[in-house]
């Protein structure tokens, strides 16, 4: 079956521009997660959704970051007024639910470069 | 602050040799420890989700053990092959916010 997909795969943008990253999870997966990996760093948790709800937004790095999920499926991560420190690989993952025993399935990522 | 540590940071192993590396995590409020493999230019892929103290899981030549009382897990690879070259990540599940806290990974390079 289809895995997690993300688009675009690569995005180069100028500092100050807004960008929108898209994640399409595995069908039927109610939980969705956003992570980023900056150069030389580990995976950084950003936000999770259960259905369309994101109960905890404290992992988002700044108020320039926002995320939404509609119809319990596709999610978008929006970064406003991009800065060079936003350059990273943004990964999306989905799982059957939030329970600790569920493994996460990752998409291929979006590589964001802010010039 | 919850911390997950992995060692070593990187490892070079001769093809055919066996190897192991460590993940250390908080020993309190334990729910699950996840292991993932992340090959270059691919997505992270789940290897194991471990939930019980003393648990041992196996997938082919790869196995993992879990000690929740002392807060560590070992990942073993028997008879390393070039396709085992990857970064191996462990992640500790935090029940309060359903978040995985990730280690920095062990980068494994298999030398032919």
Min Cα separation B42/chain A (Å): 6
Query: Could you give the CA distance from residue B102 to residue B107 in angstroms, rounded to a whole number?
Result: 14
Q: Do B49 and A101 touch (CB under 8 A)?
A: yes
Query: Residue A1: what pLDDT?
Result: 58
Query: Residue A100: what pLDDT?
Result: 87
| DSSP β-ladder status, B106-111 and B10-14 | parallel
Query: Residue B99: what pLDDT?
Result: 85
Question: Taking Cα atoms as reference points, which of B42, B75, B40 lies closest to residue B61?
Answer: B75
Q: Do A107 and B43 touch (CB under 8 A)?
A: yes
Q: Do B43 and A91 touch (CB under 8 A)?
A: yes
Q: Do A100 and B105 touch (CB under 8 A)?
A: no
- Helix (H), strand (E) at residue A94: strand A88-95
Average pLDDT over every residue of B37-57: 94
Q: Would you say residue A105 has pLDDT above 80?
A: yes
Average pLDDT over every residue of B30-46: 93
Q: What is the mean pLDDT of chain B?
A: 94
- Interface test mutation site (partner B, options A40, A43, A99, A102, max chain B beta carbons within 10 A): A43
Query: Residue A31: what pLDDT?
Result: 94
Q: What percent of chain A has pLDDT over 70?
A: 99
Q: Which residue is closest to B102 within chain A, CA to CA?
A: A43
Query: Residue A55: what pLDDT?
Result: 85
Query: Residue A56: what pLDDT?
Result: 86
CB atoms within 10 A of CB B54: 10
- Interface test mutation site (partner A, options B6, B33, B43, B87, max chain A beta carbons within 10 A): B43
Q: Which residue is closest to B51 within chain A, CA to CA?
A: A101
Average pLDDT over every residue of A80-91: 97
pLDDT in tens, A13-62: 999 999 999 999 999 999 999 999 998 788 899 999 999 998 888 899 99
pLDDT in tens, B59-108: 999 999 999 999 999 999 999 999 999 999 999 998 877 889 999 999 99
Average pLDDT over every residue of A65-82: 95
User: Can you give the length of chain B in residues?
Assistant: 112
Average pLDDT over every residue of A78-105: 95
Query: Could you give the CA distance from residue A70 to residue A82 in angstroms, rounded to a whole number?
Result: 24
């Amino acid at each position: 079956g289809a895995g997690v997909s993300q688009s675009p795969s690569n995005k180069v943008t100028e500092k100050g521009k807004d960008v929108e990253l898209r994640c399409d999870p595995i069908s039927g997966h109610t939980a969705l997660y956003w992570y980023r990996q900056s150069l030389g760093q580990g995976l950084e948790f950003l936000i999770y959704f259960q259905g369309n709800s994101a109960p905890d937004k404290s992992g988002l790095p700044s108020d320039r970051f926002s995320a939404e999920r509609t119809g319990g499926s596709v999610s978008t991560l929006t970064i406003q007024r991009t800065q060079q420190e936003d350059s990273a690989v943004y990964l999306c993952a989905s799982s059957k639910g939030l329970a600790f025993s569920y493994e996460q399935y990752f998409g291929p990522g979006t590589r964001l470069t802010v010039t | 602050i919850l911390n997950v540590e992995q060692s070593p940071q990187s490892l070079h192993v001769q093809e055919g040799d066996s190897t192991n590396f460590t993940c250390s995590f908080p020993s309190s409020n334990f729910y699950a420890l996840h292991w993932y493999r992340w090959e270059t230019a691919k997505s992270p892929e789940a290897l194991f989700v471990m939930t019980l103290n003393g648990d041992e899981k196996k997938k082919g030549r790869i196995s993992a053990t879990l000690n929740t009382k002392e807060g560590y897990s070992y990942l073993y690879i028997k008879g390393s092959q070039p396709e085992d070259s990857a970064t191996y990540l462990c992640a500790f599940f935090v029940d309060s916010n359903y978040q995985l806290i990730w280690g920095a990974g062990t980068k494994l390079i298999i030398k032919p």
